[in-house]
């Protein structure tokens, strides 16, 4: 039975119910059997407590002050990380896998972006678990603190 009001102000009746439907898709996963603890094979465990493991896609902003933001992220294997140069000073920066040793750059060649101008971006997909320190190779930048780390977890 439907009752109709003789007067109805329908023009503002737009409840945002569609959003609820989109969220319903996110509930998948879960092991049906429940795995017992398997025997660990040695090695130190890498703590992942940065506030959340990112997956799918992640973005690191290159910001003014010679910094990556956030400098340290933790992602699942297979995550595509995109660095975006948002440094309003107009300086170019890059993203090179390696570490700072003293004042020397020690690149390991796992990845190395081109120089990114303001507004430009570059992406890399991490297909193997591990720890990936990186830095900016513009002279003086890494030494000033322009370093970061991507931690990739299974
Ligand atoms: Cu730089």
CATH number of 57-153: 2.60.40.420
- Report domain extents, the chain: 57-153
How close is the Cα of 64 to the center of ligand 1, in Å? 9
pLDDT of residue 52: 84
Q: What is the mean pLDDT of residues 7-33?
A: 37
Residues 6+ positions from 68 with CB-CB distance below 8 Å: 60, 61, 62, 83, 146, 147, 148
Return the closest-CA partner of residue 66 out of 122, 149, 143: 143
pTM for the whole structure: 0.67
pLDDT of residue 111: 98
How far CA 18 is from CA of 13, 23, 27, in Å, comes to 14, 9, 17
| pLDDT the model gives residue 51 | 57
Asked if the model's pLDDT at residue 36 lies above 70, the reply is no
pLDDT at 8 over 90: no
pLDDT at 42 (0 to 100): 34
Measured in Å, residue 56 CA sits from the centre of ligand 1 at 26
The environment of the single-atom ion ligand 1, i.e. residues with CB closer than 5 A, is 93, 136, 138, 141, 146
Give 101-145 pLDDT, tens digit per residue.
999 999 999 999 999 999 999 999 999 999 999 999 999 999 999
CA of 66 to the centre of ligand 1 (A): 6
Distance 22 CA to ligand 1 centre (A): 39
- Any residues with CB less than 8 A from the CB of 138 and at least 6 apart, and which? 91, 92, 93, 94, 115, 146
- Find the 46 Cα to ligand 1 centroid distance in Å: 28
Rounded to the nearest whole angstrom, what is the distance from the C-alpha of residue 107 to the centroid of ligand 1? 15
Task: Kindly state the average pLDDT of the residues 145-151.
Answer: 98
**pLDDT tens for each residue of 39-89:** 333 333 333 334 589 999 999 999 999 999 999 999 999 999 999 999 999
Per-position DSSP letters for 79-102, written without gaps between them: EEEEEEE--TT---B--EEEEEET
Residue 151 alpha carbon to ligand 1 centre in Å? 21
Tokens at 134, concatenated: 């990186």
């Amino acid at each position: 039975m439907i009752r109709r009001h003789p007067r109805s102000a329908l023009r503002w009746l737009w409840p945002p119910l569609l959003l609820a439907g989109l969220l319903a898709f996110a509930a998948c996963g879960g092991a049906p059997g429940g795995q017992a603890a398997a025997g660990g094979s040695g090695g130190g465990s890498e703590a992942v407590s940065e506030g959340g493991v990112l997956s799918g896609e992640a973005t690191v902003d290159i910001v003014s002050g010679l910094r990556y933001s956030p400098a340290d992220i933790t992602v699942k294997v297979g995550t595509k990380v995109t660095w975006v140069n948002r440094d309003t000073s107009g300086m170019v920066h890059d993203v090179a896998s390696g570490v700072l040793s003293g004042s020397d750059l020690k690149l390991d060649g796992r990845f190395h972006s081109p120089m990114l101008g303001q507004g430009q971006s570059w992406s890399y997909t991490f297909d193997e678990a591990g720890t990936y320190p990186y830095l900016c190779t513009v002279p003086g930048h890494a030494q000033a603190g322009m370093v970061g780390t991507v931690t990739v977890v299974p």
